[in-house]
Amino acid sequence: MGPRIRALREARGWTVTAFAQTVGVSSGMISQVERGLTDPSLETLRRIAQALEVPIFSLFQDDGGGDEPVRVVRGDRRMFVRSPHGDITYSRISAGPGRLEVLEGMLEAGGTSSDELWSHPSEECAVVLAGRLTLQVGDEEWVLAEQDSCSFDSRLPHRYLNPTKKPCRFLLAITPPSY
């Protein structure tokens, strides 16, 4: 991931210092990420991707097969990202570049997808596979039980919460990829 971030940063003509200021982290952090010495948190990855104007998972190595009519992601080869507080883990189900991104989320008991509401330029659909999930959009909340789904404009500030005592597993479909 580090070399990809460096390549995207350099292609935009940004110095490490200027990029770090845009992302809101130290230049040392960016340097360590680019050299593969540390893994950034999910929140930092979101800010890096937003600054570079790319989806988060595009920062990882390409799954390959971009020109293939069928791209396969083996279960043991999925890419994962975890929130800084460890409440949520996303694994990427969809392969390579495309117009649709599919993620599996695991939100721990009492956890949130992010500390603050956030937005990104996409349409999002979530399906609860196990447990209960609360979607917060602005000041409103919707509680989703197993097999319930929701879809919404991701440009609206939002986040997912799990106020229960059991983990929640859900699928997210996002188009275009911007997560």
All domains of the chain, ordered by start, with CATH?
Answer: 2-59 (1.10.260.40), 75-175 (2.60.120.10)
Q: pLDDT higher for 134 or 71?
A: 134
Amino acid in the structure at residue 88: I
CA dist 58 and 61 (Å) reads: 7
Residue 61 is predicted with a pLDDT of: 56
The structure tokens listed for 89 are 């883990």
Residue 116 CB coordination number (10 Å): 8
The answer to whether residues 96 and 64 touch, using CB atoms and an 8 Å cutoff, is: yes
The pLDDT-based confidence of 63 (bands split at 50, 70, 90) is very low
Residue 92 is predicted with a pLDDT of: 86
Distance of CA 8 to the CA centre of its chain: 18
Listed ranges 71-80, 85-94, 111-120, 138-147; the one with the highest mean pLDDT: 138-147
Tokens 């050299």 found at = 35
